[in-house]
Amino acid sequence: MNRCIRTILVATSVALLAVPAFAADTLKVGVQAPITGSYANEGQGIENGVRLLAEQINAKGGVMGRQIEVIPCDDQGTAMAAAICAKDLVNKGVSMVIGSYTSTCAQAAQKTYFKAGVLQTSDGTADSLTEKGYWTFLRNSFPNSAEAEFVANYLVNVKKYQRIVVISDFSTYADGLANAAEAAIEKLGGKVVSRDKIKADSQNFTPVLTNIKSKKPDAIFFAGYYSDGGLLRAQQMALGIKADFYGGDANDNPDFAKLAGSAAKGAFIVNVPSPNVLPYEIAKTFIADYQKKYGEMPPSIWGLMNIDGMRAIIHGMEQTKSFDAKKVADYLHNMSTPLPGITGQIAFAKDGNRKGGAYVVKKITADGTYVNEYVQ
């Protein structure tokens, strides 16, 4: 009887030990993304992309012999669900987390991953994401300040505008971007003749624009949203202000051109490139594979940015020949040669920010389509 119990105990403990040992053979990749909710489109794009990349890597024998197992968690685009996802994914023993899509969700989950020593890569653009000193966080997109620097360089050094006007609304994003752009323009020796603010949704911007007209600007940079940007552009042209109009990334929406009507022609939009114009070979192959598997284009560049983050972490593991998060992070923070990626070269700064930028300036043509004017 005693022996019988002992046998069962031994068998059970062997079995219990064997399960984690067997599980260690797969590399668990968590996906924290808004799979439902307002950003479901983007969240599903991230999950689909991660699954496709995992499939491709697994077909080639996995990461140093370990097959990738994808574990998704839906954060619904809310901070509360994101915090729960983070705990859940850590408990399931993931080695890295891809996501989330929004800065808010990435931020809510950040600390949990940091405490557990799990690498996280997100496309959130809020500057604050990398300001907390979490070594586990790797930003695979570019922060808002990078857009400001790109815009400043383009306006001052490339186009050599002499009299620049910067406009924003009162939101955190727009005001932050406009302030950063103003500072960057002045740092490069450009002249900001006016820094104006409009009230979002107030529709009538002619009083502010009339004042701007008297400053005789040659360029206007608007850091707000498309719903105001389109009207601003239309009213700018109606007042006969002959400055070139540049809209920040939140103006990249088809409604911008519809609102501006015939005034949309000749306006410029600054943003990261859309997936269909990525010039890199690796991008073309991946997007073709994506279309073949899912029958549609990736919803936006952001999902692809996340895929690049995942590729970078796996690259780090292979280079260091280790699954140790700290070692991989140290390697990625000090990469000497950047990794060619779907969305451009990938390398990280010490604070976890992705180095460089991949912005484009798009010009709106008469029929409302976009053509690339300048590629970083």
Partner 1 sequence: MDIFLQQLANGLTIGSMFALVALGYTMVYGVMRLINFAHGDMVAASAFVGLTIYTQVMGQAATLIAVITIFLLSAACMACVGIILERVAYRPLREAPRLSAVVSALGASLVIQNGIMLIWGPRMRIFPELIPQVYWDFGGVVISLIQVIILALSLVLMVALYLFVEKTRIGAAIRASSIDQDAARLMGINVNSIIALIFIIGSSLGAVGGLFIGLYYRGITFNMGWQYGLYAFIAAILGGIGNIPGAMLGGMLLGLFKAFIEGYVSSTWADAFTFILLILILIVRPTGILGERVAEKV
Residues at the contact surface with partner 1, assessed by CB under 8 A: 170, 196-199, 201-204, 206-208, 210-211, 213-214, 227, 230-231, 234, 237-240, 255, 258-259, 261-263
Whether 184 and 149 have beta carbons less than 8 Å apart is answered as: yes
Whether 221 and 164 have beta carbons less than 8 Å apart is answered as: yes
In the complex with partner 1, the residue whose CB is nearer, 196 or 330, is: 196
Which amino acid, residue 235? Q
Which amino acid, residue 200? A
In the complex with partner 1, the residue whose CB is nearer, 160 or 216, is: 216
CB of 166 to partner 1, least distance (A): 15
DSSP per-residue letters across 184-232: HHHHTT--EEEEEE--TT----HHHHHHHHHT--SEEEE-S-HHHHHHH
Spatial separation of the C-alpha atoms in residues 268 and 246, rounded to whole Å:
5
CB of 280 to partner 1, least distance (A): 35
Whether 143 and 137 have beta carbons less than 8 Å apart is answered as: no
Spatial separation of the C-alpha atoms in residues 62 and 27, rounded to whole Å:
9
CB of 260 to partner 1, least distance (A): 8
In the complex with partner 1, the residue whose CB is nearer, 69 or 228, is: 228
CB of 248 to partner 1, least distance (A): 18
In the complex with partner 1, the residue whose CB is nearer, 61 or 254, is: 254
CB of 269 to partner 1, least distance (A): 17
3-state secondary structure at position 323: coil
CB of 278 to partner 1, least distance (A): 29
Q: How far is CA 47 from the centre of its chain?
A: 15
DSSP per-residue letters across 296-317: S--SSHHHHHHHHHHHHHHHHH
In the complex with partner 1, the residue whose CB is nearer, 131 or 201, is: 201
- DSSP letter assigned to residue 276: G
In the complex with partner 1, the residue whose CB is nearer, 226 or 348, is: 226
List Cα–Cα distances, 202 to 31, 199, 205, 208, in angstroms: 39, 6, 8, 12
Spatial separation of the C-alpha atoms in residues 181 and 177, rounded to whole Å:
6
CB of 211 to partner 1, least distance (A): 6
In the complex with partner 1, the residue whose CB is nearer, 39 or 286, is: 39
In the complex with partner 1, the residue whose CB is nearer, 197 or 293, is: 197
CB of 111 to partner 1, least distance (A): 35
